[in-house]
Copies of this chain bind each other. A is one copy, B any other.
């Protein structure tokens, strides 16, 4: 039977994630893998879970097992609202912060719309935007005249400048596809994949651009609570609450198996997101929400977070030391103040995509940096994760990577 004719025109844009393909190639647990993006299992409050379940059922009874409100259970919404200092009406619970990205895509994007993003971009977001046939372009920089004509990336989306159809205003010029920029997407704190944090000035610039172009901002913030050094910077939501949807996640501060996140944003936007979410899954998992709420409200989350931060800080420092020790001249890397990733740039001419199979055979895995660029550029970069790899594998892994890089340099 030929099934192809049944698929929606959107299906070709449900690209298989190249990262997932990497995970399929080999049993990564058998080698030194910096490829994953998982939190360390040692940070999960594993022993506390059965007790949490018992407490929740004692406190809420069968309500914890029944259908719940589409916006999330009131107790958890209130706990999030209190933690971040916003009214409860500005909080929507999501079934994972990936769903937060997806629901924003679905509510705002039409085919041909543009999402402005700061490359390198989180792959799960790129996939979601592409599934709605939106195009991802770099956030314009420089003077305000450049804002109206943004150069399209050279591959995959055609080339040459595409006149932006500012949302709500005017028409695309004749002969040009109607394109409309709807929102800016950024991970300002400890970006996945680069590990970089935007300064206050950079955040203010994002807000200035969003206000000038009249765009929304989707501030994806799954790592914000994982800061190991430096000072916390204001969120973009704090700078522009009227146009920002701030996405939070329990995956890195509780456990990803709960699939819980939240959106903080203007009520008028959440109202549409709520109606859309009804169609998606009616409501987020209810027992999980009450367990997250209990974990947060009892103070256990903050106690666990302190231990998690100490653990990851140690791993980050270990990784930075090893890079310093082994990497050849010409290599550079980011020094993340938090999160799970750092970004390695090898000398020009080394191709981390082409190198990947050799790396696997040698016993080390990473994610090629070009996957995070909408135009597939930056082929000499890679994302390295320091949260999930066993510490004993860090040194052999970095040594292998350094050896591969040095060898590639010799044969250029």
Contact = CB atoms under 8 A, between A and B. Distances in A.
A17 B50 CA distance: 37
A196 B54 CA distance: 39
Identical subunits present:
2
A280 to B, nearest CB: 5
A104 to B, nearest CB: 10
A102 B280 contact: yes
A280 B238 CA distance: 27
Contacts of A201: none
Interface string A249-260: 001000111110
A141 interface: no
A282 B259 CA distance: 9
A8 B46 contact: no
B8 A109 contact: yes
A5 interface: yes
Interface stretch (A61-69, A226-234, A394-402): A61-69
A97 to B, nearest CB: 9
A56 to B, nearest CB: 9
Nearest to A182: B6
Interface in A1-40: 1-3, 5-11, 14-17, 20, 38-39
5 contacts: A14-B278, A20-B278, A50-B54, A66-B256, A259-B281
Interface of A: 1-3, 5-11, 14-17, 20, 38-39, 41-42, 44, 46, 49-50, 53-54, 57, 61-68, 70, 95-96, 98-99, 102, 106-110, 124, 127-128, 131, 167-168, 182-183, 216, 242-243, 251, 255-259, 266, 268-269, 272, 275-276, 278-288
